[in-house]
Amino acid sequence: MRPNIVLFGDSITQESFRSGGWGASLADTYSRKADVVLRGYGGYNTRWALFLLHHLFPLGSTKPPVATTVFFGANDAALAGRTGERQHVPVEEYKENLRKIVHHLKECSPTMLIVLITPPPIDEEGRMEYARETYSEKAMTLPERTNETTGVYAKGCVELAGELGVRSINLWSKMQETDGWQKKYLRDGLHLTAEGNAVVFEEVVKVFKEAWLDASEMPYDFPHHSEIDGKNPEKAFQQKCL
């Protein structure tokens, strides 16, 4: 009955229902109006995401999502020749994979609102600190991601969105507009703090509103309790339930 909003992405999506997470905030905002469906796959890059595409978004579904956020790139941008090499995907392939994802979603539903989200910026120092705390002497000596390289992927993502005529959020740029973004928005140089989650939430809500998917203008699935007459409840439910 309610429309579905799917969050498709890597760990930054998978974690988004933790306390203060952007996914949970979306689910709260759209409560009684749309279901927010969590499809986050920690560690995944776009190459691996392609394997899931037909399973998560089957063609011919009678109820495709009304909106999907596609939030990859943090792992694709892991550098070749460093500790995250296994996850590395060259930027041209990253763009091609995103293109395949968008095409598939459009094939599922031509009216689906598709929002590409770039990876957040990288705080290389924060990444190294985290590695030292976690692995002590076995920690990497060179960062496995750099902010500069991740920026190239972010740029590619936004360019592709423009080319395909879908919306995008340049999280990489947006976060860096704020002084102290390194610690304010990132808890380990990559993953989001509660404040970082709030930025994603605000940006997604803004784009959804611009695309006419505004929670405040969507109908409740069933009557608000204040519309129910205590002595004659049938009346309120007549239209939808009787």
Annotated catalytic residues are 11
Q: Which of 24, 140, 152, 218 contacts a second copy by CB under 8 A? A: 24
Member of 5, 12, 38, 160 binding a second copy (CB under 8 A): 38
Kindly tell me which of 19 and 136 has the beta carbon lying closer to a second copy.
19
Residues 6+ apart with CB under 8 A from 207: 115, 167, 169
Q: Which residues pair with 113 in a beta bridge?
A: 67
Bin 81: left if φ > 0, else alpha if -120 < ψ < 50, else beta. Answer: left
Alpha carbon distance 181, 67 (integer Å): 29
Q: 114 near 98, Cβ under 8 Å?
A: no
Per CB under 8 A, 14 contacts a second copy:
yes
Distance CA 111, CA 66 (A): 7
Q: Three-state SS for 151?
A: helix
* 83: DSSP letter: T
User: Is residue 132 at the binding interface for a second copy, with CB under 8 A as the rule?
Assistant: no
Task: Point out which span in 51-59, 61-69, 159-167, 205-213 binds a second copy (CB under 8 A).
Answer: 51-59
Q: Which stretch binds a second copy (CB under 8 A): 90-98, 118-126, 142-150, 225-233?
A: 225-233
Region binding a second copy by CB under 8 A among candidate stretches 23-31, 122-130, 143-151, 183-191: 23-31
Q: Tell me if 40 contacts a second copy by CB under 8 A.
A: yes
Closer by beta carbon to a second copy, 56 or else 164: 56
The residue from 44, 94, 130, 153 that contacts a second copy (CB under 8 A) is: 44
Residue 86 makes contact with a second copy by CB under 8 A = yes
> In the structure encoding, which two tokens stand for residue 230, read together?
């205590």
Query: What separation in angstroms does the CA of 142 have from each of 43, 108, 148, 191?
Result: 19, 42, 14, 18
Residue 67 parent element (H or E):
strand 67-71
Task: Give the interface with a second copy as residue ranges (CB under 8 A).
Answer: 1, 14-15, 17-21, 23-25, 27-28, 31-32, 35, 37-38, 40-44, 47-48, 51-52, 54-55, 75, 85-88, 194, 222, 224-226, 228-230, 233-234, 237, 240-242
